[in-house]
Amino acid sequence: MHPSPWSIYERLEEAAAGKARVREVLIGLTWTLCESDQGFGLAMSPFHGTRTLPWPGTLAGRSVRELSPWIRSWNPHEAVVGMAAINAVINPGSPLAAAATPIPVQGSANLAVFQHFAPQLVGRRVVVVGRYPGLDSLALDCQLTVLERQPGADDLPDPAAEYVLGEADWVFLTATSLINKTFPRLAACARGATLVLMGPTVPWLGALADWGVDYLAGVHVVDGTHLRQTVGEGGGTRIFETGVRYAVIRLMQNGDPCPCL
């Protein structure tokens, strides 16, 4: 057990510590992209924009070490910049990411993770945290529950997490939970389930196994130029067609990759 919910954020900051500097931060409608001198990092942008940010025009050239503590902020825009900056150090060249298995795409790349795990989900109680566009079209052969901060007609709201995660066999948790600070609670509630942390916001950090994460399903940046263009032009799921590809790896308890998928 971790004594403080901030412990995961301390670990993220430690992993991003170093001399890396920010080249650019691009806050798109759906994704925020940070380019450091080591590579790219993504994080999901806040749902609501604002005209009153105090720092536009000042981020390029700053150190990642200076921006990474923003992940602790309760201001969603600051937290997103902090997460993207952290990922721009952790993810490029990560041995863990290099060992991850690329996920073949059959249909929508946005749903590739669920398709990858579908054979293991048959007849199981599955909870997905975060409504993924097109998820219902997969017709997964399982008892599916979706938790969503802004729930639709077929979703359950956030407070239901305390009731349904403890009964789940599998939990798919969006890595955006790291940004909005729900990760520590949700991961704790899902301790009895096989937990998949997923999405372009995923940091390829083996230490997440200490918080009960069994699989990381994150992305590789395969075309930074087109990724930047897609993010800047308001792209959402289209980044999977232009700049990133999903990959998955199973973590052992010590955070090392497991050869078994």
Give 7-61 pLDDT, tens digit per residue.
999 999 999 998 999 999 999 999 999 999 999 999 999 988 788 899 999 999 9
Cα–Cα nearest to 113, from 93, 86, 140, 73? 140
Q: Is the pTM of this model over 0.75?
A: yes
Class of domain 7-93: alpha beta
The residue extents of the domains of the chain are 7-93, 96-258
Burial of 241 (0-12, 13-18, 19+ CB in 10 A): middle
Give 160-214 pLDDT, tens digit per residue.
999 999 999 999 999 999 999 999 999 999 999 999 999 999 999 999 999 999 9
Class of domain 96-258: alpha beta
What percent of the chain has a predicted confidence (pLDDT) above 70?
A: 95
Secondary structure E strands in the chain: 22-27, 31-36, 39-44, 101-102, 125-129, 143-147, 170-174, 194-198, 215-221, 244-251, 257-258
